[in-house]
Amino acid sequence: MALRQTLFISMFAAASPALAADDFIEGVYLQSEELCAQAKKDTLQTLIDAGNVVLSAHGLQGVEYNCEFVQISKATRSPSWAVTAICQEPGYVFPDVLSVTQMNPTQVDLVSVRPIDDESEASGNSGSYYLCEGVALP
């Protein structure tokens, strides 16, 4: 009986994906250094309410929009991670796969495999994000 329980726990642990790679991004990121300065002056919630998207190790967060990072895998030859996400907006849930690349100590670039439907639409989940020192999630 004990062997069966140990085997079950071992199989469960092996089948459970790791949520995050050990050295994944930390902190709060916004789409420009100017937005980081504004978040320090005002509040991060004010920027979110104004339609800006925030990046953290948990995912992307905006007004009526979020992408939860559910699986993160570290690349072996570059400062990059492959991220599987579940994204939601009002009335719509969809998966996304992104690459997150550390460009320098304060900048990461995201590239999404999700195509943009309309050229006038924003860049979706892709773009550059900048670390906002001293800013915390609400």
- Chain segment 24-47, per-residue pLDDT in tens: 999 999 999 999 999 999 999 999
Coil, strand, or helix at residue 29?
strand
The fraction of the chain above a pLDDT of 90, given in percent, is 74
DSSP state of 64: T
- What amino acid is encoded at 105 in this protein? P
In the predicted model, what is the mean pLDDT of residues 106-134?
82
- Of the candidates 14, 1, 20, which has an alpha carbon nearest to the alpha carbon of residue 81? 20
pLDDT at 138: 85
